[in-house]
Amino acid sequence: MVPLLLALAAAAIVIGVVVHVGHTLADELRPPRAPNGAGTDGIGAAAERRRFLRLIGISAVGAVPATILPVALRTHGDVAATAEEPARGPGGRVRQWTMIIDLRFCDGCQSQGTPPRCTTACIEGHLAPEPMEWIQVFEQELPGGGTQFIPTPCLQCQNPPCVNVCPVGATFSTPEGVVLIDQERCIGCRICMAACPYDRRFFNWSDPPVPPEALLADYSPDHQVPATRGTVMKCDMCPDLARAGTLPYCIQACPNDAIYYGDLEEDIATNGRSVVAVSKFLTDNQAYQLKEHLGTKPRVYYVAGHGQAVGRDPYTTGRLPTEWPWLRRVEGARVWNR
Amino acid sequence: MEPVTDYRRRLEEATVRPALGVSRGFWVLVAGLLTVIAWGLYAWTTQLHDGLIVTGMRDRIAWGLYISVFVFFIGISHAGTLISAILRVTKAGWRAPITRIAEFITVVALVCGASMIVVDMGRPDRLANVLIHGRWQSPILWDVLAISTYLTASLVYLYMPMIPDLAFFRDRLAGEVPRWRSRLYRMLALGWRGLPGQRTALLKAIGILMIVIIPVAVSVHTVVSWIFGMTLRVGWNSTIFGLLFVAGAIFSGIATLVIVMAVLRKLYHLEEYITEKHFVNLGYLLAAFTLIMMYINASEYLTTGFKLEEGEEFLFRQLFLGQFAGLYWFYFLGGLAIPGLLILVKRTRTIAGVVTAAVLVDLAMFVERYFIVISAQRVPLMPYVPFEYTPTWVEWSIFGAGLALFVLIIAVFVKVFPIMAVWEIVEEHEGTHAEEQRLASAEDRL
């Protein structure tokens, strides 16, 4: 209804402008009226009044801004999408990807003596620019002292605040329930970063520091390589790998098999070593989501813990800082801090 | 009738005077402003070349000075609507000499504010995507719609009451100004001859537009606030934000109007038309708005501060005690309490007093926009050390250029267009005059 009205207004503007220009020209060309023609004054005044009203009317219609017309004229939404068909499970139902992170098994790679392996693998797999940790291992204090590690990817909200605010449909939810970003459409307004309550979005503040081979990749929102300046990036949950039957980089690299990836529709998930029934696993372990009270409905679940299953002492705090391994960077690239 | 004609002649001369000569001081001012703008453009080319990395913004405070300035400019654009529409609707006769200035501030502030958004974009080259792929569900599209509607509506609303004055310039300045200006006046005056029919049509059109423009103006700063209010951030996630922003917009709009009025009055000797009464009346409005702002602030901070949900305590500490405390208390004391007192105390209720209050209010409202935008983003969303944001020289330079652009457009405008609505002032004057005569004759009869 609104688009239709606006379209009508647009037509009125165009017609109005044409009429206006025509009349103005005609007036310019007409010889000046005799000043004291008896009787003509009344007619002249009436004509003048009509002409004037018309001009005013046109100006008032002009108050409907022409700038929004392209948007108004579109009848359906225009949101970016991946070119790929969604993955389907048994019975042809679209997979609903999910991730479960079992914090009982996460020691922040303290036992490995390395920076968190999930973060490193993600960076290497996606050629993610420094300082982006799409899956970031936060360290949080526990109620009775000591700390826990919380690997935090994008939580793939089903009520995603970022998607809701995007002005151009550059960030979008896929049928598989994953939130992706089309960096070829993103305008860099950063309202999605303002809207994300989990600090899971990253901006390319300049030409991103990535290795030269990144430029050889075929770009797709599914893997976001190569990164481009002035656009937003984040964890994409590796839907391309999942479709190919492989686990995301972070899960492949986890030395403690703390992260599960699966399909809610088929109710199955795996950490690469064992397979679990998602619903039973979540219930049995009283899984939770981050900031559940916000109503964002994340697709990433957590099982509470502080690495106890792999023998971590919660009072040994700290983890090694993440490193970006490229020796050589694309020319002209610059590094920034988060 | 004689005194009215006399009054009209003097008024016409006062209106024409700025449009005739261009003094050396004017060129100095223009040169100075152009220098500031050129410097800002240089800063912007740096940013276009290197990316937003040249700003102080980073992922965790991803909106900074640019967005604050945007909100501030869109705020002061409410000057025009308040004065010319609300006061026109309420038939406040004293408004006549200041409407033109107010309406012009509106248009210029909108232009300056909107340009800040383009500066803030990571990909200004993709600006057209907003039109090609725009989604109505996004608060940013609401802003695009509201601001462009308000801009076109205010342009029309600036223009329509100016038609008779443009016709006056066309007739009065013929032969005294360059040909392009004569032609401009003739074209814009739309053949106005002051015929009764033309008058009726004009008054009817203004009558419609002054009603229509009020909800448009209210919608503008409401949706600006919703850019923040539609997020889940502590400090932004508030239902009162629309009201807070609209009230603050009118508040800073009045203050800006007072300042511009004072400057033009001094420069172009408009003391006879823009009188102490105008300043005091606008001062009363300012004082009323200090109370409204305090009320909304109390509503906002008490309802969240009483409960102290997660993150609120951090926000309150940094706002009232921590690194934003200086800004906050300057806003509260310098921008609300002191201006209110300056106007309430009879001794300072003078032109100087009101102008001082207005300067304080504008500074404070800028500061308020800044700490609202920045402080909420500083609240950590996850266990990390809060990010410290400091604007860089690029951001300050572009901000300075924005202010200079604002002054420059106004300076050029007063040299080309009638700065006072002659016909409205005369009508107002005649009305009072007739009223006085009527009263006088009534007294005689008694």
Measured CA to CA, the distance from residue A175 to residue A156 in angstroms comes to: 12
pLDDT the model gives residue B89? 82
| pLDDT band at B29; cut points 50, 70, 90 | very high
| pLDDT band at B441; cut points 50, 70, 90 | confident
Contact B131 A199 (CB under 8 A): no
Return the bridge partners of A171, or none. A181
Interface test with A, best of B103, B126, B312 (most A CBs within 10 A): B126
Measured CA to CA, the distance from residue A233 to residue B423 in angstroms comes to: 58
Return the bridge partners of A179, or none. A173
Query: Comparing B61-70, B133-142, B199-208, which segment has the lowest mean pLDDT?
Result: B199-208
Helix axes B196-229, B351-378, angle to 10 degrees: 40
Query: Comparing A81-95, A107-121, A202-216, which segment has the lowest mean pLDDT?
Result: A81-95
Measured CA to CA, the distance from residue A334 to residue A154 in angstroms comes to: 25
| pLDDT band at A31; cut points 50, 70, 90 | very low
| pLDDT band at A1; cut points 50, 70, 90 | very low
In chain B, what are the helix, strand and coil shares in percent, each to the nearest 5? 80, 0, 20
Return the bridge partners of A138, or none. A150
CA neighbor of A334 nearest in space, from B49, B222, B210: B49
For B160, name the nearest residue in chain A, comparing CA atoms only.
A56
Return the bridge partners of A152, or none. A136
Establish if B196 touches chain A: CB-CB under 8 angstroms: yes
Measured CA to CA, the distance from residue B83 to residue B62 in angstroms comes to: 35
Measured CA to CA, the distance from residue B78 to residue B101 in angstroms comes to: 12
| pLDDT band at A28; cut points 50, 70, 90 | very low
Q: A39: buried, middle or exposed (CB in 10 Å: 19+, 13-18, 0-12)? A: exposed
CATH architecture of A90-310: 2-Layer Sandwich (3.30)
- Computed from CA positions of residues B59, B65, B68, B73, in that sequence, does the dihedral angle turn out positive or negative? negative
pLDDT the model gives residue B96? 84
What is the token pair recorded at A29? 């060309």
The ipTM estimated for the assembled molecules is: 0.91
| pLDDT band at B1; cut points 50, 70, 90 | very low
User: What is each CA distance from A221 to A180, A193, A207, in whole angstroms?
Assistant: 6, 17, 18
- Name the residue type at position B298: A
Listed in sequence order, the residues at least 6 apart from B113 whose beta carbon sits closer than 8 Å to its beta carbon are: B69, B70, B71, B72, B73, B74, B77, B147
pLDDT the model gives residue A41? 47
Residue B84 forms part of a structural domain? yes
Residue B256 forms part of a structural domain? yes
For the beta sheet containing A259-263, the strands, ordered from the edge strand earlier in sequence to the opposite edge, are A275-276, A268-270, A259-263, A97-102, A300-303
Listed in sequence order, the residues at least 6 apart from A224 whose beta carbon sits closer than 8 Å to its beta carbon are: A126, A181, A183, A233, A236
Contact A70 B120 (CB under 8 A): no
- Residue pair B173/B16 in contact (Cβ under 8 Å)? The answer is yes
Percent of residues, chain A, with pLDDT higher than 70: 77
pLDDT 10s digits, B231-272: 999 999 999 999 999 999 999 999 999 999 999 999 888 898
pLDDT the model gives residue B83? 76
CATH number of the domain to which B83 belongs: 1.20.1630.10
Using a CB-CB cut-off of 8 Å, the residues of chain A touching B230 are: 164-165, 195
Percent of residues, chain B, with pLDDT higher than 90: 67
Using a CB-CB cut-off of 8 Å, the residues of chain A touching B216 are: 63
| pLDDT band at B4; cut points 50, 70, 90 | low
- Number of Cβ within 10 Å of residue A308's Cβ equals 14
| pLDDT band at A19; cut points 50, 70, 90 | low
Using a CB-CB cut-off of 8 Å, the residues of chain A touching B144 are: 67-68, 167
Burial B132-149 (b: 16+ CB within 10 A, else e): ebbbeebbbbbbbbbbbb
pLDDT 10s digits, B361-374: 999 999 999 999 99
Measured CA to CA, the distance from residue B222 to residue B139 in angstroms comes to: 10
Measured between CA atoms, how close is B191 to chain A, in angstroms? 9
Establish if B2 touches chain A: CB-CB under 8 angstroms: no
Interface test with A, best of B67, B157, B231 (most A CBs within 10 A): B231
Please give the average per-residue pLDDT across A178-186, as a whole number.
97
Using a CB-CB cut-off of 8 Å, the residues of chain B touching A185 are: 126, 129, 133
What is the token pair recorded at B111? 């232009």
Return the bridge partners of A172, or none. A180
What is the token pair recorded at B444? 């005689």
Please give the average per-residue pLDDT across B210-237, as a whole number.
93
DSSP assigned state of B194: -
| pLDDT band at A10; cut points 50, 70, 90 | low
| pLDDT band at A100; cut points 50, 70, 90 | very high
Please give the average per-residue pLDDT across A213-222, as a whole number.
93
Residue B443 forms part of a structural domain? no
- Name the residue type at position B22: V
Listed in sequence order, the residues at least 6 apart from A150 whose beta carbon sits closer than 8 Å to its beta carbon are: A101, A103, A106, A137, A138, A139, A140, A302, B383
The phi-psi region of residue A320 (left if phi > 0; otherwise alpha if psi is between -120 and 50; otherwise beta) is beta
- Residue A102 sits at φ, ψ, to 5 deg, of -90, 100
More confident residue, B394 or A8: B394
| pLDDT band at B210; cut points 50, 70, 90 | confident
pLDDT 10s digits, B285-318: 999 999 999 999 999 999 999 999 999 999 999 9
Residue B438 predicted with pLDDT over 80: no
CA neighbor of B406 nearest in space, from B252, B271, B266: B252
Return the bridge partners of A268, or none. A263
| pLDDT band at A142; cut points 50, 70, 90 | very high
- Number of Cβ within 10 Å of residue A43's Cβ equals 10
Measured CA to CA, the distance from residue A162 to residue B385 in angstroms comes to: 23
Give the angle A268-A270-A274 at the CA atoms, nearest 5°.
110
For B141, name the nearest residue in chain A, comparing CA atoms only.
A167
pLDDT the model gives residue B14? 86
pLDDT the model gives residue B115? 94
What average pLDDT does chain B have? 91
Contact B196 A45 (CB under 8 A): yes
Percent of residues, chain A, with pLDDT higher than 90: 71
Residue B446 forms part of a structural domain? no
The helix (run of H) or strand (run of E) holding residue B114 is helix B99-120
Measured CA to CA, the distance from residue A176 to residue A94 in angstroms comes to: 6
- Number of Cβ within 10 Å of residue B80's Cβ equals 29
Residue B354: domain span: 2-436
- Name the residue type at position A130: E
Q: Where are the domains of chain A?
A: 2-73, 90-310
| pLDDT band at A316; cut points 50, 70, 90 | very high
Measured CA to CA, the distance from residue B403 to residue B65 in angstroms comes to: 13
Listed in sequence order, the residues at least 6 apart from B79 whose beta carbon sits closer than 8 Å to its beta carbon are: B102, B105, B106, B109, B253, B254, B256, B257
Residue A225 predicted with pLDDT over 60: yes
Measured between CA atoms, how close is B283 to chain A, in angstroms? 31
pLDDT the model gives residue B318? 96
The position carrying tokens 């957590």 is A302
Residue B52 forms part of a structural domain? yes
Measured between CA atoms, how close is A244 to chain B, in angstroms? 31
Establish if B387 touches chain A: CB-CB under 8 angstroms: yes
Contact B139 A141 (CB under 8 A): no
* Per-residue three-class SS string for chain A: CHHHHHHHHHHHHHHHHHHHHHHHHHHHHCCCCCCCCCCHHHHHHHHHHHHHHHHHHHHHHCCCCHHHHHHHHCCCCCCCCCCCCCCECHHHCECCEEEEEEHHHCCCCCCCCCCCHHHHHHHHHHCCCCCCCCCEEEEEECCCCCEEEEEECCCCCCCCHHHHHCCCCCEEECCCCCEEECCCCCCCCCHHHHHCCCCCCEECCCCCCCCHHHHHCCCCCCCCCCCCCCCEECCCCCHHHHHCCCCCHHHHHCCCCCEEEEECCCCEEECCCCEECHHHHHHHCCCECCCHHHCCCCCEEEECCCCHHHCCCCCCCCCCCCCCCCCCCCCCCCCCCC
| pLDDT band at A37; cut points 50, 70, 90 | very low
Q: Give B309-322 as a DSSP string.
A: -TTHHHHHIIIIIS
pLDDT the model gives residue B291? 97
Establish if B232 touches chain A: CB-CB under 8 angstroms: yes
| pLDDT band at A75; cut points 50, 70, 90 | low
Contact A165 B230 (CB under 8 A): yes
pLDDT the model gives residue A49? 64
CA neighbor of A118 nearest in space, from A277, A219, A250, A298: A250
| pLDDT band at B9; cut points 50, 70, 90 | confident
Please give the average per-residue pLDDT across A234-243, as a whole number.
95
Measured CA to CA, the distance from residue B389 to residue B370 in angstroms comes to: 11
User: What is each CA distance from A141 to A151, A165, A305, B420, in whole angstroms?
Assistant: 14, 32, 12, 65
